[in-house]
């Protein structure tokens, strides 16, 4: 009876030991995955920003202390999958057509300007308060990848992989305006935000878009 009792205690201890080891192993594995994702995003960030020389030069004009290597990870968030049937309405005669971003594997087009900028049949073009990153898919669906209200805006975007889109823009915080980078994981419905230490009050919310969209007479 005593031997059985000792055996039972030993088995319980062994079970707890294995359980704790398995839990620690899972935690280490999760941490490794997160660190690997951060490192991969850092590579994409550096590579992507280097492909936006006009945008980085614009910020350097606003503040000579701006350096593209000073972006750092801020946070990562999941976003709700929001899509509905709608074909790409941006045709070749649209002023936004030259700025469409083809998905690298031909699965659709991304547009970051048509929601923000309105071009009336008569009168001068102007700007809406909100901004949206739209993904027109080849299957006839339109998906919202990113949205921001009047406190922010999107200036540039580029595909950094078939499943990841980098968006460059700005955000108004308590200190003033600051550049931001978003890296969107289109498949996992998640985006990471990268912040910059530069803040400026000398800022025109639509200044970059007026330069970029040179074919529109603002």
* Whole-number Å distance between alpha carbons of 150 and 78: 21
pLDDT band at 155 (very low <50, low <70, confident <90, very high): very high
Residue 62: phi and psi, rounded to 5, are -70, -40
* Whole-number Å distance between alpha carbons of 106 and 144: 18
Q: What is the pLDDT of residues 74-116, one digit of tens each?
A: 999 999 999 999 999 999 999 999 999 999 999 999 999 999 9
* Whole-number Å distance between alpha carbons of 13 and 117: 66
* Whole-number Å distance between alpha carbons of 135 and 107: 10
Domain count, the chain: 1
* Over residues 12-20, mean pLDDT: 52
- pLDDT score recorded for residue 2: 43
Buried b (16+ CB within 10 A) or exposed e, 25-50: eeeeeeeeeeeeeeeebeebbeebbe
In this prediction the pTM is: 0.85
Domain contains 113: yes
Does position 34 have pLDDT exceeding 70, yes or no? Answer: yes
Domain contains 27: no
Domain contains 88: yes
Structural domain for 98, as ranges:
36-212
């Amino acid at each position: 009876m005593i031997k059985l009792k000792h055996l039972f205690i030993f088995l319980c201890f062994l079970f707890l030991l294995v359980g704790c080891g398995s839990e620690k192993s899972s935690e280490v594995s999760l941490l490794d995955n997160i660190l690997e994702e951060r490192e991969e995003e850092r590579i994409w960030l550096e590579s992507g920003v280097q492909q936006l020389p006009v945008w980085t030069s614009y910020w350097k004009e606003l503040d000579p202390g701006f350096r593209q290597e000073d972006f750092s990870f801020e946070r990562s968030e999941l976003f709700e999958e929001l899509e509905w049937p709608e074909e790409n309405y941006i045709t070749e005669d649209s002023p936004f057509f030259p700025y469409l971003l083809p998905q690298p594997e031909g699965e659709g087009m991304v547009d970051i300007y048509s929601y923000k900028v309105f071009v009336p049949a008569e009168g001068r073009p102007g700007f809406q308060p909100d901004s949206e990153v739209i993904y027109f898919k080849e299957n006839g669906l339109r998906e919202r990848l990113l949205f921001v209200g009047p406190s922010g805006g999107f200036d540039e975007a580029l595909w950094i992989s078939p499943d990841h889109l980098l968006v460059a823009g700005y955000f108004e915080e308590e200190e003033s305006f600051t550049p931001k980078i978003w890296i969107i994981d289109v498949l996992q419905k998640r985006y990471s935000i990268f912040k910059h230490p530069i803040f400026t009050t000398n800022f025109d919310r639509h200044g970059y878009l007026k330069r970029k969209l040179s074919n529109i007479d603002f």
